[in-house]
Amino acid sequence: MNSRKKNAIYSVFLAIALYGGYQYQQSVVRQQQDQHPTLAGNTMGTTYHIRYQDAQGRNLQEGVDSLLVAFNQSLSTYIPTSEISEFNDSHALRYRSPYFFPVLQKSKEVFELTDGAFDPTVMPLVKAWGFGPGEREYPDSARVDSLRSLVGFTQIEFDNTSVRKAKEEVMLDFSAIAKGYGVDVVGEYLEERGIQDYMVEIGGEVRCRGENAEGQSWRIGIKNPEYKTQSDERPTAILNLQDRSMATSGNYENYYIKDGRRYAHTIDPKTGYPVEHTLLSASVVATDCMTADAFATAFMVLGKDKAIQLAQRMEDLEVLLIYSDEAGELRTFQTQGMAALMQPSSPQP
């Protein structure tokens, strides 16, 4: 056989080998992708993102979406036929779903631990100030005082079958806890299907279990209030989370300005007015996301000094507070455990 034929045969075998290697590499990539699905969608007026490891390569998008529809049908004040809307329009409610009772239990717990800073009965004030369903009122002091008489979680009575209220006009609003609770519900759905390594995020609230695809803790960023757009955004910190949840509440995005005055969406249940203080955001790490979400809201109601005092008492929580000092510069406070979890980039305390 002459050298030309030998070279031609060699070239054919080389091409076959290279093609086979490429196909094998692609099959490995596809297998890895199948075992590490990524889901995304819309819910609760925001977006969700889910990553998980599954040796069976199951796509659980349909199940997750159905679950979130049922969840919203229970707790969304923007759905007229939801359980919470039915309760707000009546004297009492007998639960139709498994979601109402747990969120009432957690709400009562956090209400008591925060001395009323977290209070889901703030709904009449939320609506009046224009941060809920319905039209904005711009209430005067007399109207605020009138609505405050309807606020107070002690006006709610409930057990494991039903919930009642002392006055017909009392209303509930779980928007300060629902996203975190929804994250937990989705996480539990994944666990029931044997998935041990996952990350669930809804509107910035996160639950992490196990490890990511690289066999490491999940890396979750905390938004820097200085950056208003995604193009120039850099996180204040990166957290390494494993078997933990995190929620962040802040007043740097959801607000409006009227007659030169800034009105934040966080309403103080005791004063009846939107909060005005230097605390810009509160990030809380807890075992479950519902707890983290509720306490993050409570810290935003309390303001920097009282939030720091509460954070130092809560041994089961890790907290990062971002606030502005007298010169308008950003500063942070973090608990010792939070400092161990995060890799700060800016600002420094």
**Type and span of the H or E element at 249:** strand 244-250
User: Which amino acid does the sequence have at 347?
Assistant: P
How far is the C-alpha of 93 from the C-alpha of 83, rounded, in Å?
8
**Residue 39 CB partners (closer than 8 Å, separation 6+):** 48, 49, 50, 51, 59, 60, 61, 64
Beta sheet of 156-158, edge-to-edge order: 92-94, 162-165, 156-158
User: Which amino acid does the sequence have at 138?
Assistant: Y
How far is the C-alpha of 109 from the C-alpha of 291, rounded, in Å?
9
How far is the C-alpha of 127 from the C-alpha of 177, rounded, in Å?
17
Q: Which two tokens stand for residue 137?
A: 């009122």
Residue 101 burial (CB < 10 Å; 0-12/13-18/19+)?
A: middle
Nearest residue to 176 via CA among 88, 107, 73: 107
Strands (E), 54-91: none
Q: Is the dihedral of CA 189, 317, 101, 152 positive or negative?
A: negative
| Angle in degrees, CA 268, 271, 274, rounded to 5 | 45
| Angle in degrees, CA 274, 276, 279, rounded to 5 | 115
How far is the C-alpha of 65 from the C-alpha of 265, rounded, in Å?
28
Q: Which residues pair with 209 in a beta bridge?
A: 198
How far is the C-alpha of 89 from the C-alpha of 91, rounded, in Å?
7
User: Which amino acid does the sequence have at 48?
Assistant: Y
Q: Is 176 annotated as a binding residue?
A: yes
Q: Is 297 annotated as a binding residue?
A: yes
Binding region: 176, 293, 297
Binding region for Mg(2+): 176, 293, 297
